[in-house]
Amino acid sequence: MSAWSEPGSRAGEAEPAAAVRVRDLRVELGGSSILAGVDLTVAVGEWVTVIGPNGAGKSTLLRAVGGLLTGAGEVALFGTPIRALRRRDRARVVATVAQSPVVPAGMSVFDYVLLGRTPYIPPLGRESAADLAAVHDVLDGLDLGGFGRRELATLSGGERQRVFLARALAQGATLLLLDEPTSALDIGHQQEVLELVDQLRREHDLTVLATMHDLSIAGEYADRLVLLADGRVAAAGPPEEVLTEHLLGLHYRAHVRVIPGPHGPHVVPLRRR
Ligand code: ADP
Ligand code: MG
C-alpha cells in the first residue's frame, strides 16, 4: 500500500508527504561514524523493516527517526522536519518500542500503559477520564484486559511485548518504530505479535518502521526491506530483491539457501561443511 499511488492523486498536485523521509543522515557516536549518509523513505501506511548484521546501525537509525538522537542531514516525519517538532508534539506523531525497554520496578501494567498518555496530560496535571478510557480500550484490544493490575515484571516475554505495544498505541501516534519487537519471543509468540501489529496497522492506518533479525519473518510482514551494512544502505526494495543468497553472503558472511515462499522468500542457513 503506498500513498503515492492513491487513485485521487493527479499529476501536478503536490505529492503527499511521506511518513518518514531521511536524507543523507550521518551520525557519529564516541568519535566513530555510525551512520554514513543514509537515505530512507517510508510511505504513509507502509511497513518497512531494516535488516543488517549486528552493529550495522539499525537501532541508531530508529533512534534518529524517533528524535531520540540528532545527526547531520535531514529527518522529516509527515513533511515536518523533526527538529521543528517539540517533544510533546513529536510524541503524538511517533511512538517507539525500544530493543530492550526498561521495565520500571513495581509498576502495574495499567500504569505503564498510562505512561503512553503523557503527551496529552498537562504539565503538573492529572490524567483525564478520556486518558483512562484510552488505556482501557488499548488493553482490551490487545487481550490484556485482565492484566491491568499485574506487575509488569511478572509477565511472560510475549505478554510483556504486548504491553510495550499497548503503551505505544495508547500514545495515539500514527508512526510506530519497533526495534526487534520479537527477538525475545518463541516462534508462536513472534507470529502472534507481528500479526497483531499488521492488524492494528490496517485498523488504525499506522505506518511501521521496524528492525528484525529473522530474515524470513522480516520478509513475510514488510512491504519493503532495507539492508543496512556498516552504516550505509546496501540494498532496499521488495523482500525478493533484498533477500538473495548473494547479498546475504556479502553482508552477513552467511551461507544460506533462499527458497521462494507464498509470502516472501524463506532464508535457510546451511552449515558450511
Ligand atoms: P544494530 O542495532 O544494527 O546492532 P546499533 O545502531 O545499536 O547497531 O550500533 C551501531 C554501532 O554503533 C555499533 O558498533 C555500536 O557499538 C555503536 N554505538 C552505539 N551506541 C554507541 C554510543 N553511545 N557510543 C559509541 N558507539 C555506539
Ligand atoms: Mg539494534
Q: Please report the DSSP string for 97-119 in residue order.
A: E-SS----TT-BHHHHHHGGGGG
**pLDDT tens-place string over residues 74-114:** 999 999 999 999 999 999 999 999 888 888 889 999 999 99
Q: CA 123 to CA 37: how far, in whole Å?
A: 38
By most ligand atoms within 8 Å of CB, the mutation choice from 26, 28, 29 for ligand 1 is 29
Distance CA(21)–CA(4), nearest Å, equals 14
- The confidence score (pLDDT) of residue 3 equals 42
Pair 43, 18: CB distance under 8 Å:
yes
66 and 180 co-located in one domain? yes
Q: What pLDDT, on the 0 to 100 scale, is given for residue 47? A: 98
210 and 153 share one domain: no
Cell numbers describing residue 100: 530492550
Backbone phi, then psi, for 58, in 5-degree steps?
-65, -50
- CA 209 – ligand 2 centroid, Å: 13
Identify the pLDDT of residue 11. Answer: 54
DSSP symbol at 206: -
Helix (H, G, I), strand (E, B) or coil at 149: coil
The answer to whether the CB of 30 is under 6 A from ligand 1 is yes
Closest approach atom of ligand 1 to CA 61: 6
* Cα 199 versus chain centre, distance: 15
* Ligand 1 atom 18 nearest Cα: 29
In eight-state DSSP terms, residue 150 is S
Q: Residue 231: CB within 6 Å of ligand 1? A: no
Q: Do residues 160 and 182 share a domain?
A: no
> Which residues 6+ apart lie within 8 Å of 250 measured at CB?
234
| Residue (of 237, 211, 209, 213) closest to 225 by Cα position | 237
What is the tally of structural domains in the chain?
2
- Pair (36, 146) in one structural domain: no
Segments forming the whole domain that contains residue 68: 18-93+174-269
Whether residue 2 is predicted with pLDDT greater than 50 in this model: the reply is no
Contact yes or no for 93/78 (Cβ under 8 A): yes
Residues 120 and 68 in one domain: no
Contact 65, 42 (CB under 8 A): no
Confidence of residue 192 (pLDDT cuts 50, 70, 90): confident
DSSP 157: H
* Number of the ligand 1 atom closest to the C-alpha atom of 52: 3
CA of 234 relative to ligand 1 center, distance in Å: 18
Residue 42 to residue 21: CA distance in whole angstroms: 7
Contact 125 CB / ligand 1 (< 6 Å): no
Residue 189 and residue 256 in one domain: yes
Grid coordinates given for 267: 532464508
Q: What is the atom index within ligand 1 of the atom nearest the CA of 179?
A: 2
Look up residue 59 and give its three cell numbers: 537501532
Residue 230 belongs to a domain: yes
For CA atoms 199, 204, 207, 210, the dihedral sign is: negative
More reliable by pLDDT, 52 or 192: 52
Q: pLDDT tens digit string along 3-46?
A: 444 444 455 566 789 999 999 999 999 999 999 999 999 999 99
Whether the CB of 227 sits within 6 Å of ligand 1? no
pLDDT score of 12: 55
Average pLDDT of span 153-181: 92
How far is CA 39 from each of CA 27, 42, 124, 198, rounded to the nearest angstrom?
Answer: 13, 10, 40, 25
Quick one: which ligand is closest to 61's CA? 1
Is 99 part of a structural domain of the chain?
no
| CATH value at residue 76 | 3.40.50.300
Do 254 and 187 reside in the same domain of the chain?
A: yes
Whether the CB-CB separation of 36 and 26 falls below 8 Å is answered with yes
- Give the Å distances, CA to CA, from 173 to 87, 127, 140, 207, 226: 13, 18, 18, 9, 23
Q: Is 42 in the pocket of ligand 1 (CB under 6 A)?
A: no
Is the CB of residue 219 less than 8 Å from the CB of residue 243?
yes
Alpha-carbon span 204 to 217, nearest angstrom: 22
